[in-house]
């Protein structure tokens, strides 16, 4: 049985923790007697963003959790909580977007309706083309 796994990307650190932290420091430095009521909601919102991304990074990224798992039977995306069985897949393609690619998997569920499931590689560690080729390899086999 073949098993391929991809882990969460560390890209969340830059946008989710470092940037809001920098903005929070700038706001705190600019606080004085006259403008603290205006800056307090901004600082609170930025701190909320920092805490939520820290929680996500510490639970997934730093613990090396699996983001995408491929085996002979199915694809499991832990980011979106999606399970796709290879027997239901009709075709696979991709589209380049900023931050990665979107893998579009055309699925025929129970021979009743057809849908397109999109898997984004923005938060998956590894080369986008390698991820797509791995998925296409399972579909074509």
Rounded to two decimals, the pTM is 0.69
Q: Are 116 and 107 in contact (CB under 8 A)?
A: yes
Model confidence over 77-126: pLDDT tens digits?
A: 988 889 999 988 999 999 998 878 999 999 987 767 788 999 988 888 88
Model confidence over 20-47: pLDDT tens digits?
A: 778 778 777 777 777 778 878 888 888 8
pLDDT confidence bin for 134, thresholds 50/70/90: very high
CA distances from 57 to 75, 78, 115, 120, 123 (A): 23, 14, 31, 18, 11
pLDDT confidence bin for 11, thresholds 50/70/90: low
The pair of structure tokens assigned to 25 is 């420091």
Strand runs labelled E in 8-73: 66-71
Burial of 122 (0-12, 13-18, 19+ CB in 10 A): middle
């Amino acid at each position: 049985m073949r098993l391929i796994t991809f882990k969460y990307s560390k890209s969340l650190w830059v946008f989710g923790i470092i940037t809001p932290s920098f903005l929070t420091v700038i706001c705190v430095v600019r606080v004085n007697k006259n403008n603290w009521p205006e800056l307090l909601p901004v600082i609170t919102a930025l701190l909320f963003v920092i805490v939520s991304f820290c929680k996500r990074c510490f639970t997934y990224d730093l613990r090396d959790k699996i983001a995408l798992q491929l085996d002979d039977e199915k694809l499991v995306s832990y980011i979106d909580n999606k399970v796709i069985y290879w027997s239901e897949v009709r075709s696979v393609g991709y589209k380049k977007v900023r931050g990665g690619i979107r893998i579009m998997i055309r699925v025929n569920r129970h021979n009743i309706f057809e849908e397109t499931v999109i898997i984004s590689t923005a938060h998956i560690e590894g080369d986008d083309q390698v991820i797509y080729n791995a998925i296409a390899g399972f579909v074509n086999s």
